[in-house]
Amino acid sequence: MKQLLAILVDGSVYASWLFIISAGLTLIYGVMRILNMSHGSFYALGAYSGAAMVGWYFSTGSVPWFSFVALIAAALVAGISVGLLVERGLLRFMYGRDEVVMILVTYGVLLIMEDAIKLIWGVEPYFAYQPYTLLGRTKFAGLSFANYDFMLIGVSILIGLALWYGLNRTRNGKLLRVVIHDREIASALGINVARIFTITFLIGAGIGSLAGALTAPGLSVVPGMGIEVIVLAFAVVVIGGLGSITGALVGALIVGMARAAAVHLYPDVELFVIYAVMGLVLAFRPQGLFAVANARKI
């Protein structure tokens, strides 16, 4: 029973982390049809920005609880600023190109951002553990859990609800769904598609940076972390279906629980099980579990 509880909690925490990362990636693909390889670099940018800000904040002797605001604000400012530069300075000139070309372009952005991060912050690891320890721990059924991890679950739920509400209950969200369905018709109806693209990319970049910032207190921030995470994010969105927020949620839960079960029961297959689940899903649903249907033009 204790082991089952540990698997459920660890799986939920890992799934929450994966969903926050994958939500921005699948949103950008759903609207812009860009498989954004640079998404992992925005994650790393948020982690470095947040960790550096937290380190500076605590060095000033300020109120510890406001470090959460500093952590999130630094990541969002960095992610949205760089996202605006990438979208306005590069991607807007590439819209309409083949998806493979866009993958190569965003992969180039990933390489540039990874080197830029090393130039700015160096290659030494950064540590921002203070926010993680501030919330303390909770003991239940003989097990000890970090309250910060439960906060991560809550943040992922809030992000999921915000995306659902924004897409389904707001005017801009409905306009965005029109663009998803058919960008040419949307443009003919007077919808500013370029503006929708910009907003979408900034939201996706912001969510990716936020994921990095929220992850930073729980681990060391090191070069290459963005490349590692983009592989996991791709696995999640492929399982759930490219372009589907619901699919990203379900994919994150499947991967999170599968990995947690493997870690506790069969540690040697921890990495293998993620890709085994992906292969199993794709064998029966090549388009993913909740793939968004594309309208066929005649």
User: What are the pLDDT tens digits along the chain (298 aa)?
Assistant: 788 889 999 999 999 999 999 999 999 998 888 889 999 999 999 999 999 999 999 999 888 989 999 999 999 999 999 999 999 999 999 888 888 899 999 999 999 999 999 999 999 999 999 999 998 999 887 888 899 999 999 999 999 999 999 988 888 888 888 887 778 888 888 888 889 999 999 999 999 999 999 999 988 899 989 988 998 999 999 999 988 899 999 999 999 999 999 999 888 888 789 889 999 999 988 888 887 666 555 5
Give, as one character, the DSSP assignment of residue 126.
B
Contact 258, 277 (CB under 8 A): yes
The answer to the question of residue 291 being in a domain is no
Give 165-234 as a 3 state SS string.
HHHHHCHHHHHHHHHHHCHHHHHHCCCCHHHHHHHHHHHHHHHHHHHHHHHHHHCCECCCHHHHHHHHHH
The answer to the question of residue 296 being in a domain is no
Contact 24, 206 (CB under 8 A): yes
d(CA 105, CA 297): 27
Residues forming beta bridges with residue 126, ordered by sequence position: 221
Contact 13, 214 (CB under 8 A): no
d(CA 94, CA 75): 27
Q: Does the pTM exceed 0.85?
A: yes
The CATH code of the domain that includes 251 is 1.10.3470
The answer to the question of residue 248 being in a domain is yes
The answer to the question of residue 292 being in a domain is no
- Tokens 């060095």 sit at which residue? 59
Q: Where are the alpha helices (DSSP H) in 36-169?
A: 39-59, 67-89, 99-121, 130-134, 147-169
Tell me how many domains the chain contains.
1
Where in the sequence is the domain holding 226, given as residue range(s)?
2-284
The answer to the question of residue 88 being in a domain is yes
Distance, CA of 127 to chain centre: 21
The CA-based angle 35-51-216, given to 5 degrees, is: 60
Cα–Cα nearest to 129, from 195, 67, 61: 67
- Tokens 């972390």 sit at which residue? 225
d(CA 98, CA 273): 32
The answer to the question of residue 83 being in a domain is yes
Amino acid found at 141: A
Classify 37 as helix, strand or coil.
coil
d(CA 25, CA 95): 17
Cα–Cα nearest to 57, from 170, 169, 216, 211: 216
The answer to the question of residue 23 being in a domain is yes
The two three-digit tokens of residue 54, written as one number: 């937290």
